[in-house]
Amino acid sequence: MLNITIVVQNLRMGGFQRVALDEAYSFSKSCQKLTLVLLEKIPSESLNNFYSSELDLITEFKLDLKVASGNRLQQFLFFKNLIDSDNQPKNFISHSLRATVLIRLASFSSKSTTNLITIIHQLPSLSAPIQRFKRFFYSFFSNVIFTFSEAARLDWNTRINSNLFLRILLRKKSISLLRNGIFLGRINNFEGNRFDKDAELRLVFLGRPTSWKGINSILDLAQFRALSNAKILFFFPYDHGGLFDNLPADLLSRISVVVGKSFRDYEPSFGDVHLYPANYGGSARFIESISINCLEMASVGIPSFISKGGLLTWPEFMHNPLFVEVDWSDNIATVQKICDSFNVRVDDSELSKIRRIISVENHTTHLLNYMI
């Protein structure tokens, strides 16, 4: 049995929190000795956190949940005590670069062997210059560095190769691809007969109500004649802050908003399509089109319409009907694709194959190869 500690900033509803928690479920299911450490206190409010929405799973898998809140010194001492708790080798999976540095510093005075794996969850180009440099520098303290997408890996290497100092600092620290996955045990098992084949088209968005996620693109598409009867469902982790205040009344009447709920609360309909019009900006050289929400939708057979050119991480989905590439700047062509494809579904054997591909067990099995 391996000694594994996963470290994450918090359990708010977000991408890296989702990955960390799914890792924890998967490792616990395989009977590894698992500790989940949060750098912030567990929030008391019920909205916008996985702790509340998945307390049943956290309890079922008996996750050993610890909190290392406080200032940097207090967190340093927390990790030092954790490392010194016994003489067994320790494997840390860090989803926080701050934690990566603290764990490495805490390990210097310990007799226990510490293996530190860091997972990067953001394209370097999306960070401000100072923050981006910190990310590169902090990663130096890790034994192994992974990132979630091929776009992020290419972006990372391009930035390093253009900076002499970073090339020297990280000359022995390569970054590798570790694809995200989802823990299928938390996905409600929506069988084919749960879908209403006579259901009308519904446009679905899952994610944060931020501009770069492309919400305005969805609202623009919904006003085309061909989609004028389509319902629109927004699943937000937190309140959207009056995002829809100035919309026309007829469009507003078609919109439903769910706040602070996880994917487990989503009830799919046969007419659902998931739209993920992420906009990385015109200067972005590398983009990632498949989010964790896209993987979740695929696990229940709902197609996602995604930005064209971002399938480098998942090339096997290039011609899969559950992942439809579109050019969001061409509204007419996008509307036509939605109308042509919204009721297309895959059969049970194909859906089972997709679930095997996107399972977090592939992710955690790969991590085990780097543990001691």
Residues 235 and 305 in one domain: yes
Residues 219 and 259 in one domain: yes
Residues 267 and 151 in one domain: no
Stated as kind and residue range, the H or E segment containing 366 is helix 360-368
d(CA 269, CA 290): 21
Biggest CA pair distance of the chain: 68
**How confident is the model over 21-66, as pLDDT tens digits?**
999 999 999 988 899 999 999 877 767 899 999 999 999 999 999 9
Residues 173 and 90 in one domain: yes
Residues 41 and 160 in one domain: yes
Min mean pLDDT across 160-164, 190-194, 302-306 is at: 190-194
Spell out the residues 6+ positions from residue 319 whose beta carbon is closer than 8 angstroms to its own: none
Strand partners, 1: none
Q: Which of 360, 266, 264, 237 is nearest to 55 (CA)?
A: 264
Strand partners, 116: 92
Residues 122 and 239 in one domain: no
Structural tokens at position 290: 């498949």
What is the pLDDT at residue 196? 65
Cβ pair 46, 52 in contact under 8 A:
yes
Q: Share the mean pLDDT of the chain.
A: 92
Which CATH number goes with the domain that contains 202? 3.40.50.2000
Residues 286 and 346 in one domain: yes
Residues 305 and 320 in one domain: yes
Task: Write out the residue range of the structural domain in which residue 37 sits.
Answer: 3-183+359-368
Q: Are strands 304-307 and 323-326 parallel, antiparallel or unpaired?
A: parallel
227 Rama sector, left if φ>0, alpha if ψ -120 to 50, beta otherwise: alpha
d(CA 187, CA 195): 16
Assign 292 a pLDDT band (cuts: 50, 70, 90). Answer: very high
Residues 200 and 67 in one domain: no
Residues 106 and 89 in one domain: yes
Residues 176 and 195 in one domain: no
Residues 177 and 293 in one domain: no
Cβ pair 15, 288 in contact under 8 A:
no
In the DSSP assignment, the letter for residue 152 is H
Assign 193 a pLDDT band (cuts: 50, 70, 90). Answer: very low
Task: State the total domains in the chain.
Answer: 2
Cβ pair 119, 157 in contact under 8 A:
no
